[in-house]
Structure 1
Amino acid sequence: MSVHQAAILDALPAHATYLSFDLQEDTDASAVKAALKQLQTLVDGKRIVVGVGMTLAQALRVEIPGLLEFTGIANSKVVLPATPAALWLWLRESDRGELLHQQQRVVQALGPIFQLQQEVSAFKYGSGRDLTGYEDGTENPQQDDAVRAAIAPDGGSYVAVQQWEHQFARFHAYTETEQDQMIGRRRSDNEELEDAPESAHVKRTAQEDFTPEAFVMRRSMPWSEGARGGLYFVAFATSFAPFEVQLTRMSGAEDGVTDDLFRFSQPLTTAYFWCPPLQDGRLSLAWCE
């Protein structure tokens, strides 16, 4: 029986690591499949979520319906880096030590066929807040609506990821009222502001304002490295369309109005992946067999 990777809808963990891998050049398809079988033994969909990138699908000469590679937004008023990868993993643990051991096992299973491209350490902040102090994922669909928004009938899911870096000095130079207006909610009680400008983040991304509605399941977490930090944005859906229409509006490509997030934060990466379902409690590799 095929079921989705449970962590897609589960509560956020205390700690997480996001890993992106590239394929080594001139790698034989049989060696790639052998490495994936090694990874399969570690993946239960709860402690590790796996996403497949277009470059991996192409290397294996398989077609995954709906899988795309992010190449940018036409007429965007802001810079949106495209950073494709062959494989993406979301490692989730309640303990930092266990997270380290988990990562070591994953790297060992995938090496030397897959090469680590990026590693981002993340964590839950408060009740699930961004490092600016605002609640994240307020508009996430719940229960059955969450399943309909994030999980395809076959148990698969499509995920868009972006690493955003905040310029904290710039953000804190604004008054509390100005900050609330940029986000479109009061940080103190999370209430949406009716008088927020059209550039406010909440208004730029109101999921029900699109036709068709653009609901996603946000599973974002703050990240930090030394004094740097921001939000590792993660959005699961049944296609990439909901994310793309939101990002198009945020970028100003639709009406020339850019999201106020860009006044103090910038995305460093953007990539798309397909998350296969589970089969008999383990990651399904039926798509590449």
Structure 2
Amino acid sequence: MTKAQAGILASLPEQGRYVFFTLSEAAAQVQVALKALQGSVDSNKVVVGLGQQVLQALDKRIAPMHEFPPLKGPEFEAPSTPKALCLWLRGNQRGELIEQTAKLAAMLAPAFTLNQVVDAFVHQRSNNGHGRDLTGYEDGTENPQDADAVTAGIATGQGVGVDGSSFWVLQQWQHNYAVFNHMTVQEQDHAMGRRRSDNEELDDAPESAHVKRTAQESFEPEAFLVRRSMPWWSVSPQGVDRSGLMFSAFGCSFDAFEAQMRRMLGMDDGISDALFRYSKPLSGSYFWCPPVAQGKLDLTALGL
């Protein structure tokens, strides 16, 4: 049985909400806030991720943990947007998540200040449990399952308080539908490397195809991640809505993600991922998700 927060390995919820916080007070107040959080969250309904800023405020170090590095390829880049804390709220009704957000923000003040909220959802969930990106392509097809998911997504052999934890990467990607819709169906499929109609991988897809750029078994060592991405949508009062995919992945370290991101950007061979033709990352943040012990967040690695 893994000590991981339950929501990490669980199937996607119908509704999700990513609630980001900045750090606003001294370490003493951070400790109080984290202790309150520790005793009040159900890890199936709320996945907790702590940023490097929190570890630094507490003068603690978790070996694989660091800030998201700014990465730049020949044509595109992946921005670094550090945050102190992220709570992934998971549920079936958006109203519940809105109410929960207010309660958690009040509980974490004054140490943490709510900085950003991204609402997400499952789109066209299929019988296999996978949802689709808003471009219509299935997401998570190559996700490791069961024991393989634990191996890929959960830390082991790193000591008490760290074993059972996970290292979480979040990137908010915004799609340009005007560009995407101007592409032919074949161009869209070749950009992804799969047919949207039946999700079959294309043998004749170009080397820039997203599936080829991120084929997890093609790296040395293999770069498997547990993906839990969800589409997001932001309503604009001016009628110009924004939307895309909140890329969310958990690993036993950040090595697998960084290997994939470098290849997507063409940092190794100069070939950029075709996904960049119609989508771009707006953010990039790393978080450490503490393990669970006796039904509560295990914060012993932080001295709490």
Q: TM-score range by the shorter chain?
A: over 0.9
User: Residue in 1 aligned with 2:97?
Assistant: 99
Equivalent residues of 2:2, 2:150 under 8 A apart: no
1:133 aligns with 2:136: yes
Alpha-carbon offset, residue 73 of structure 1: 2.2
User: Residue in 2 aligned with 1:244?
Assistant: 258
Deviations 1:155-190 (A, max 9, x none): 100011100000011101111111001000000100
User: Residue in 1 aligned with 2:9?
Assistant: 9
State the one-letter code of the partner of 1:235: A
Superposed, 1:1-289 pairs within 5 Å as 3-24=3-24, 27-73=25-71, 75=73, 77-127=75-125, 128-153=131-156, 154-226=163-235, 227-289=241-303
Alpha-carbon offset, residue 79 of structure 1: 2.2
CA distance in 1, matches of 2:71, 2:94: 37
Q: Which moved more, 1:201-210 or 1:32-41?
A: 32-41
Alpha-carbon offset, residue 40 of structure 1: 1.6
CA distance in 2, matches of 1:74, 1:126: 33
What count of residue pairs does the alignment treat as equivalent? 287
State the one-letter code of the partner of 1:217: V
Deviations 1:225-263 (A, max 9, x none): 122100000010100000000000000111111001100
Alpha-carbon offset, residue 14 of structure 1: 0.5
Alpha-carbon offset, residue 117 of structure 1: 2.0
CA distance in 2, matches of 1:58, 1:2: 27
Query: TM-score under structure 2 normalisation?
Result: 0.92
Equivalent residues of 1:2, 1:280 under 8 A apart: no
Change (3 A) 1:260 1:2: closer
SS of residue matched to 2:71: coil
Alpha-carbon offset, residue 71 of structure 1: 2.1
Alpha-carbon offset, residue 74 of structure 1: 5.5
Alpha-carbon offset, residue 202 of structure 1: 0.2
CA distance in 1, matches of 2:2, 2:58: 22
Equivalent residues of 1:9, 1:146 under 8 A apart: yes
Deviations 1:68-119 (A, max 9, x none): 1112125553121100011111000111111112111111111121012221
CA distance in 1, matches of 2:108, 2:33: 5
Query: TM-score under structure 1 normalisation?
Result: 0.97
Percent of matched pairs sharing the same residue? 53
Deviations 1:16-40 (A, max 9, x none): 100111101xx22121100111112
CA distance in 2, matches of 1:2, 1:260: 37
CA distance in 1, matches of 2:103, 2:151: 33
CA distance in 2, matches of 1:3, 1:106: 23
Q: Which moved more, 1:94-103 or 1:181-190?
A: 94-103
CA distance in 2, matches of 1:102, 1:84: 23
Equivalent residues of 1:42, 1:106 under 8 A apart: no
State the one-letter code of the partner of 1:275: C
CA distance in 1, matches of 2:74, 2:64: 23
CA distance in 2, matches of 1:35, 1:231: 30
Alpha-carbon offset, residue 216 of structure 1: 0.1
SS of residue matched to 1:3: coil
